[in-house]
Amino acid sequence: MVNINTTMLWQLFNFFVLLFLLRKFLYSPVKEILDKRAAQINGDLDDAEARRKEAEEIKAEYEQKLKNAHTEAQEIVDKAETRANKKAKNIINEAEEKAENLKAKKLEEIEQAKKEAAAELRDSIANYTVLAANKLIREQLDENKHQQMIMDFIDDLDKEELGELR
């Protein structure tokens, strides 16, 4: 059987005292230090998680601002393009209008020149006719009748439309 002697009791007593002392002065402070360290690490992890979330929010905000900036830039480009097209159309319309006005003015000048040429031709024909008729019937008609006959003759020619002079 087991022989229990006093040395063994003292060793057992010393063992339990040692366990008590180790627990009191070693295990508890080490556990406390480890708990504090674990709490600090957990705090640091929570802080890191909070900063990560904050960074993600800032990143999302930045991406939204960047997207808005791209949209705004596209709108500015579209507006500028629209204004440029509108201005180009206005310039083209003004040029076409000026060309039409110039064309109308030149046509009026041509028409006026035709009328002047026809009037000059009429006057020249009248003068030549008067001279020719004067030679033929110098003594038979007076000047007023003679002028009236020439004008009637010219009016008849106008009615028949003399070529492109009309």
Counted residue by residue, the chain has a size of: 166
Specify the number of domains making up the chain.
Answer: 1
8: left (phi over 0), alpha (psi -120 to 50) or beta: alpha
State mean pLDDT over 117-131.
Answer: 77
Q: Is 150:127 a contact under the CB 8 Å cutoff?
A: no
Retrieve residue 39's tokens.
């709490």
pLDDT at 68 over 90: yes
pTM of the entire predicted model? 0.41
CA 87 remoteness from chain centre: 12
The answer to whether residue 1 sits within a structural domain is no
**Percent of the chain scoring above 70 in pLDDT:** 86
What integer best gives the mean pLDDT of the chain? 85
The answer to whether residue 14 sits within a structural domain is yes
State mean pLDDT over 94-115.
Answer: 92
The answer to whether residue 141 sits within a structural domain is yes
CA distance 61 to 51: 15
pLDDT of residue 107: 92
Which residue segment(s) compose the domain that 40 sits in? Answer: 6-165
